[in-house]
Amino acid sequence: MVFSSLTFVYAFFPLVVLLYYLCRNRVYRNTVLLIASLLFYSWGEPRFLLLMVAATLAAYCGGLLMERGKHKRLVLIVTVVLLTGNLFVFKYLNFFSDNLTALFGGTALPKLVLPIGISFYTFQILSYVIDLYRGKISVQRNFFYLLLYVSFFPQLIAGPIV
């Protein structure tokens, strides 16, 4: 779904705004925003939602481990490698496979479909993990709030503008 689609303008966004303002409690409002954001993301390709949730979970666990203070740098490195490795596999593996096949022959790996917004949300998650390591922010103890930070629908398609 894109911001300019009729579905977004006349159905999705008005419904989210209505539900948001009907809720008086901040927890319920954040729940509405999280559900709307996950629905918005999964509108394009639902199977990639699990990938975004898993990447966020890796950062969440990494953040909790970093907070303990032991092996903080190692936790940062492992988390960054996991996140960038995920990005590499989906974004660049096809390129390398095709080029290596062209150079040396053989059979190329099956083509992987690029998940929507993978670069953006990966860098969003990386900014959280790196800021934690540097001590600029404190760890987010609520996984769902971190997931909302990563998947918030108005920001998710802003992309490199942010």
Could you tell me the sign of the dihedral formed by the alpha carbons of 126, 88, 54, 38, in that order?
A: positive
Amino acid residing at 73: R
Q: Give the model confidence (pLDDT) of 77-131 as tens digits.
A: 999 999 999 999 999 888 888 888 888 888 777 888 888 889 999 999 999 999 9
DSSP state of 113: P
Residue recorded with tokens 């996950």? 38
For 63-86, the pLDDT digits (tens) are 999 999 889 999 999 999 999 999
For 13-27, write each residue's pLDDT tens digit: 999 999 999 999 999
51/135 Cα distance (integer angstroms): 27
Whole-model pTM over 0.75: yes
Taking 3-state DSSP, the helix, strand and coil percentages for the chain, each rounded to the nearest 5, stand at 75, 0, 25
Give the pLDDT band of residue 158 (cuts 50, 70, 90).
low
